[in-house]
Amino acid sequence: MTVLTVEQWVAETAKLTQPSEIVWCDGSSAEWLKLTELLVSNGTFIRLNPELRPNSFLARTDPADVARVEDRTFICSTHEVDAGPTNNWRDPLWMKNLLRSLFKGSMRGRTMYVVPFAMGPLDSPQARFGVEITDSPYVVLSMHIMTRVSNGVLEKISKGADWVPALHSVGAPLLDENGVQSPDTTWPCNVEKYIAQFPESNEIWSFGSGYGGNALLGKKCMSLRIGSVLGRNEGWLAEHMLLVKLTSPSGKNFHIAAAFPSACGKTNLAMLRPTLPGWKVATIGDDIAWIAPDSDGRLRAINPEAGFFGVAPGTGLKTNPVAVETMRANTIFTNVALTEDGDVWWEGLTDDAPANLIDWTGKAWSPLSGSPAAHPNSRFTVSLSQCPIIDPEWDSPAGVPLDAILFGGRRATNVPLVVESRDWEHGVFMGATISSEQTAAAEGVVGTLRRDPFAMLPFCGYNMGDYWQHWLKVGQSLKADDLPRIFQVNWFRKDANGKFLWPGFGENARVMEWIARRLENEVSAQESAIGKLPIIRDLNLEGLAISDEKLAEIFQIDKAAWHHEAELTAEYFAKFGEQLPAEMGQQLELLRSNLTKL
């Protein structure tokens, strides 16, 4: 629980940062209009053609401020072991002293904005509240979209609700100590950057960056790094997972969460348009799921966010038409290209680039420029409510009952198209061992894996071994029949020639259909060394041009390759020492034992 009141914290922060003005934000349309006009006038925003893209804007960042700065992101727990081997750790007292020196006077000449926000529907029992202080109007507007900014949050806090103080500054004061004015830029930031989470006091301090998850502190900082700690302490799960509703032709609904590392098809699955007649997918969220047991002992999930903060490149009319339609208006684009007629473009939006593009740095671009028109991490920020396949229950305070959890990485080898865990414990083992082949040159060679357990590698706010233990504890506290079933999927397995064995995209609905039928116990599965595999005849392959040879290869369990994978897993688990749950070691030994029987 935060000791200071919001008013006391704001006053204390203002004394430290010395802003010229303090503005309390309310999330209103009037506030949006005022701040967008401000950003257009100072050059941070380019207003897009209102006939093509109403109420939408393009921002270009400093080239040195284009992505999360994971090497400058710290978990500041009292004891280093509580941060664990996958996080950067700093002593909290040391970090606070450093940050105070950086924040001192950091807002001179700028406006301090106080942004009260809710993660989750305001009246949801799963909602949590925060207040972000920032000197960036770009951040304020992005928080308008990504969270629920309102005075109602302050009312909740005034009645005793806990809240997370989240302090942010771009670190670019306009006045020096003597009051001498410095020129502003269209994207102020600082060469020195720190994103610090304090799990024992539930605080966030972010300095130097104005971009994405570094600055929108409701995003990864609160929803996952602090959220995972809150979940551990309070008995729930804060997860880097999409959330969808799958509906069968008979009208039966299945709610599914899925954890995928980056570049593994997460947003495409969140907005899936099934190729199977009669099947539908409705989006609830594409990035975060908070999962908690209800009074009946069933896990329910909410998407705590209110918007999409999506990677633009690769999002196109062929790959994700739903996303393209979602951003038709009321969208903030960052670091994409500008077209001649005042619209936006990025690689993958269409097959061919329009003529006379201006690239993300503001320079004229052509296919001969030798660099992409849009930055590879360029983004679109848009409200969930605009998604044409948004589920009507996406904003329900009660959340949705969770039927299944999927884990997946980008694996060219070993991992089958779909495999079901034997039980919750085995499912946690699946989540703990998510990995992807890291580079194209290494694809097909087992041994070059990037580990990303539960897709939480950059986002877990405490020791990853303890995080796995918490997952086990949640499962042990509930009845087995009430727990979601756990599956591992892999759309990316390749043949010996480097060609994908599975078509992916909308055809992934065929895997989702099999999962739904497993949940209904309509089909059986065959035991294997690594879990339960489909019986091929139970997969709906009607109309799909895929050979029997490809199907056999996509489900092949190679004994030698999996023994090698087990060795790599043992090496990885050794990093966690005493924090490794005994059950994870037991699951690894069971895998090895099963492989010897092949």
| 101, amino acid identity | S
Taking CA 397 as the corner, what is the angle to CA 395 and CA 401, rounded to the nearest 5 degrees?
Answer: 90
Q: What's 487's DSSP letter?
A: E
CA distances from 68 to 64, 219, 388 (A): 11, 11, 29
Partnered with residue 489 across adjacent β-strands are 408, 418
At which residue do the structure tokens 């920020």 appear?
A: 381
H helical segments located in 67-146: 92-103, 137-146
CA 336 – CA 540 distance, rounded (Å) = 39
List the one residue out of 318, 380, 355 whose CA is nearest residue 53.
380
The enclosing H or E element of 152 equals: helix 151-158
* Residue of 348, 446, 330 whose CA lies nearest to 384: 330
208: tokens are 């130097």
Please list the residues that pair with 419 across neighbouring strands.
488
**Locus of tokens 């109420």:** 55
Assign residue 475 a region (left: φ > 0; alpha: ψ between -120 and 50; beta: otherwise): alpha
What SS3 class is residue 427?
helix
Kindly name the residue from 25, 76, 221, 264 that is annotated as catalytic. Answer: 264
Active site residue 264: yes
Residues 551-565, buried b or exposed e (16+ Cβ, 10 A)?
Answer: beebbebeeeebeeb
Judged by phi (left if over 0) then psi (alpha if -120 to 50, else beta), residue 199 lies in: alpha
3-state secondary structure of 364: strand
CA–CA dist 142, 147 (Å, integer) = 8
Judged by phi (left if over 0) then psi (alpha if -120 to 50, else beta), residue 589 lies in alpha
The answer to whether 319 and 313 have CB atoms below 8 angstroms apart is no
The bridge status of strand 400-401 relative to strand 299-302 is antiparallel
Q: Which two tokens stand for residue 242?
A: 């999409």
CA 578 vs. chain centroid, Å, equals: 29
At 485, give phi and psi (nearest 5°). -80, 150
φ, ψ at 576 (rounded to 5°): -95, -5
327: β partners: none
Question: Tell me, what DSSP letter sits at residue 196?
Answer: E
Hey, which residues does 169 pair with through a beta bridge? 207
Residue type, 508: N
Nearest to 508 by CA among 520, 497, 493: 493
Round to whole Å and give the CA distance between 413 and 498.
10
Nearest to 480 by CA among 422, 438, 433, 411: 422
As annotated, the active-site residues are 264
